[in-house]
Amino acid sequence: MSPFARIRRFHAIEHATIAVLFQRRGRQVAVVGRSDFSGFQLYGPFEPDEVASALQEALERLAAGERYLAITNHCGTNILATGSLTATAALLAAGKDRRSGWTRAMSAAILATIAAAPLGRFLQKWVTTDPRVGGISLVEIRHRAAGGGRRRHYRVLLSANE
């Protein structure tokens, strides 16, 4: 499996794991995730056994066809889509007249921001995640220190046997 394909699948598992954690807690909590070619990192107020259990459930649910778990409004892909689309729209709309250009740029940026939400979900679905998790298994979850308070840092290592 190519590194890009691995990252897409691990990204889907990261999203699904966070979705399961949110469902179990009955609410969303402050959490950050970042996927790479060997798994993902997770920062949040979770206990080690909570992360391991949620990861296992996420793998099972994705394998059972719950592909929607791979798509979230909280993904950095959405931020990238919003920033890129609004900056491009504002630059193209502004023109040279500063007074009317500002109004056009703001209008274009607002419309682009509205359009960015479905674009972000589209990009997640077709470019940045892949919920096909067959052949992927947990290798190890490493707990790392992460500042004070209840925030913890986990390094989740996955294996792709495909």
pLDDT in tens, 109-145: 999 999 999 999 999 999 999 999 999 999 999 998 6
- pTM for the full model? 0.91
Q: Are residues 66 and 25 in the same domain?
A: yes
pLDDT tens for 84-108 read 999 999 999 988 877 778 889 999 9
Counting the structural domains of the chain, the total is: 2
Q: What pLDDT sits at residue 162? A: 64
Q: Are residues 17 and 57 in the same domain?
A: yes
Do 120 and 152 share a structural domain? no
Question: Do 112 and 35 share a structural domain?
Answer: no
Q: Are residues 8 and 62 in the same domain?
A: yes
The yes-or-no verdict on residue 63 having pLDDT over 80 is: yes
What is each CA distance from 67 to 13, 61, 100, 126, in whole angstroms? Answer: 10, 8, 45, 12
Alpha-carbon distance of 68 to 78, in angstroms, equals 16
- Is 59 in the same domain as 90? no
What CA–CA distance (Å, rounded) separates 124 from 54?
21
Q: In the predicted model, what is the mean pLDDT of the chain?
A: 93
Show the domain range for 34.
Answer: 3-71+129-160
Residues 67 and 90 in one domain: no
